[in-house]
Amino acid sequence: MRHIYFTIILFSFNSISFSQQIVSTNYDNNYSSANGTSNTAFTMNYDFNNGTIEVFKGTMLKKINQNIFWVKNAQIVTQDNKVLVELSRKLLVNGISLIAQVSADYGYIVEFAKNKGSNEIIVAIANSKGERDSDELVLNLDDLK
């Protein structure tokens, strides 16, 4: 009888964990969960008006608009695979932590500057709702290369 209870309990835990798995989908399909976020790997080529194409890649939680993204574990990489900006639990620029910061458990809000001729990105730590939860840090990509 104990074996039957153990089997039922084990089966119940497996069912619960299976039902909580995240379904990954293509970013273009705009999959969203109940809270409006996706959890999708993405890669975008982006020209920061400096004549070269950088690659912005990582996990997209939500595309807020054309220039603003809620991301986690993301990077901005040059064409020759040099990591300019790493947006993991800590913000790293050229492999160096710029500021003392708390861990970015919910990712970052990244905004590409809208001004023509500007190579700036604006970064802020995100909260659990995908809102800015810190002061903004302005990074000029020309200064990082």
Instruction: Indicate the domain borders of the chain.
Output: 24-144
**Which pair of tokens denotes residue 71?**
């991301």
Comparing 131 with 96, which gets the higher pLDDT?
131
Strand partners, 59: 41, 72
**Which pair of tokens denotes residue 104?**
């970015």
pLDDT of residue 16: 38
Region 24-44: mean pLDDT is 57
List strand residue ranges (DSSP E) for the chain, in order: 40-47, 53-63, 68-77, 83-87, 91-93, 96-97, 108-112, 120-125, 137-140
Confidence of residue 131 (pLDDT cuts 50, 70, 90): very high
**6 Cβ partners below 8 Å, 6+ apart?**
none
Region 106-119: mean pLDDT is 81
The length of the chain is 145
Strand partners, 75: 57, 86
Region 4-9: mean pLDDT is 49
Percentage of residues of the chain with pLDDT beyond 70: 68
Write the secondary structure of 4-49 as one string of H (helix), E (strand) and C (coil): HHHHHHHHHHHHHHHHCCCCCCCHHHCCCCCCCCCCEEEEEEEECC
Contact 55, 73 (CB under 8 A): no
pLDDT of residue 80: 86
**Which pair of tokens denotes residue 23?**
């379904």
pLDDT, mean over the chain: 75
* Amino acid in the structure at residue 83: V
What pTM value is reported for the model? 0.70
pLDDT of residue 30 exceeding 60: no
